[in-house]
Amino acid sequence: MAHAAQVGLQDATSPIMEELITFHDHALMIIFLICFLVLYALFLTLTTKLTNTSISDAQEMETVWTILPAIILVLIALPSLRILYMTDEVNDPSLTIKSIGHQWYWTYEYTDYGGLIFNSYMLPPLFLEPGDLRLLDVDNRVVLPIEAPIRMMITSQDVLHSWAVPTLGLKTDAIPGRLNQTTFTATRPGVYYGQCSEICGANHSFMPIVLELIPLKIFEMGPVFTL
């Protein structure tokens, strides 16, 4: 999860998030190069008193600064489209979880385990235990296995919500009357936090999401479902 004074993105816990971080660094380097070249050209323009009349009618230069931005856009667009299609792939998920947004809590349904349904509310400050995170911990966590493809079916019962877990690279809108889906594969165990990322009313800030990722062998034992 994020920590105080953090500048970069959260550590990746899924292959999709690793791809997103790589693309972020790739695009950032291109932006740095463009900014450096523009600032260098401005600096030369402001500091030199010499002028070259041939620059005012240089078709070769105009051709270069027309083609070069197009090439840069292609270098950004191709990896971006690749990641976009990767996020939409659904390859034989091992587990399907349905998440329903309400004002202001989440309902989860394990459709592959006899329709196990439970609500997940934010823990009030008076109920926090030592080590719990204020405004982020919930009474019932979503327990999921690692190294297994998981499909999330996301919808809403009232207004627009957004189911987002940054460390997994997930952010999917919960829309009333529509069922959206997203998939992920966690690569390491742990407890990961997210929040509703769509302004959904007065208590929008109090809709945390907590995923507890555990090894598959422990998940299959069953007691993790005791609420």
Question: In the structure encoding, which two tokens stand for residue 35, read together?
Answer: 């900014």
Domain boundaries, the chain: 15-88, 95-221
Distance, CA of 33 to CA of 145 (rounded, Å):
42
Burial environment of residue 118 by CB neighbours within 10 A (0 to 12, 13 to 18, 19 or more):
middle
Q: What is the pTM of this model?
A: 0.81
Tell me which CATH code domain 95-221 carries.
2.60.40.420
Whether residue 52 has pLDDT greater than 70 = no
Q: In which band, very low, low, confident or very high, does the pLDDT at 202 lie, cut at 50, 70 and 90?
A: confident
Tell me which CATH code domain 15-88 carries.
1.10.287.90
Residue 136, Cβ neighbours under 10 Å: how many? 16
pLDDT tens digits along 133-149: 888 999 999 999 998 89
Q: In which band, very low, low, confident or very high, does the pLDDT at 100 lie, cut at 50, 70 and 90?
A: very high
